[in-house]
Amino acid sequence: MKRTVWTFGLISGGIMSAMMLLTLPFMDAIGFDKGEVIGYTTMVLSFLLVFFGIRSYRDYVAGGTIGLGRALAVGALITLISCVCYVATWQLIYYQLTPDFVTKYEAYSIENAKASGESAVEIEKKVATRQKLAKLYRNPAINVAVTFVEPLPVGLVITLVSAGILSRKRRSVNVAAA
């Protein structure tokens, strides 16, 4: 199981990491809204490797059958490895490549609030909230936890669906005595 999980987990994580690194230089041109769409689309596509990982394990390691529990375990482990790759890449990006990301995102969200016609009081509340979150996000433990939780639900949903589709038990054939 280890080889399958590591192989598919690292490929999935590599896809998410590569896409983050490829889109980062163009974030000003892409914009935060489109960046989110690209990011989550990439997550879904990379987590499709969970399906192929479970199927590979079922077909080549488990002899063509896999129970729901084992399929969930394989998929969850692939998801976890992929999420760790995502977190590691984000830490590199956040602390080394774009340390001003939070400032830019704050400005973007305030601009959005102004453009949507929110009152000055509501905008001030958003600014205060954003500043508190930015301060929390500077803590590496919180940064890692928040970043880990971004792709995790997507991966777990795909794990559940894939495990449900791919799990199958051996059926014993009863031959009636004639």
The pairs formed by 137-143 with CB atoms below 8 angstroms and a separation of 24 or more are 137/102, 138/102, 140/91, 143/91, 143/94
pTM for this predicted structure = 0.87
- What is the Cα–Cα distance from 117 to 128, expressed in whole angstroms? 18
Domain ranges of the chain: 2-166
- What is the Cα–Cα distance from 161 to 107, expressed in whole angstroms? 38
For residue 146, the model assigns a pLDDT of 94
Write down the residue that tokens 């490829």 correspond to. 22
Q: Is the sign of the CA dihedral 21, 25, 30, 35 positive or negative?
A: positive
Q: Reduced to 3 states, what is the DSSP secondary structure of residue 150?
A: coil
- What is the Cα–Cα distance from 156 to 146, expressed in whole angstroms? 16
Q: Exposure of 92 by Cβ count < 10 A (0-12 exposed, 13-18 middle, 19+ buried)?
A: middle
- What is the Cα–Cα distance from 121 to 149, expressed in whole angstroms? 31
- 171 band by pLDDT with thresholds 50, 70 and 90: low
- What is the Cα–Cα distance from 33 to 30, expressed in whole angstroms? 8
pLDDT in tens, 4-62: 999 999 999 999 999 999 998 788 888 888 988 999 999 999 999 999 999 999 999 99
pLDDT in tens, 65-116: 999 999 999 999 999 999 999 999 999 999 998 888 888 888 888 888 788 8
Tell me which residue of 142, 5, 176, 168 sits closest to 79, measured CA to CA: 5
For residue 173, the model assigns a pLDDT of 46
Angle, vertex CA 45, rays to CA 158 and CA 32, nearest 5: 110
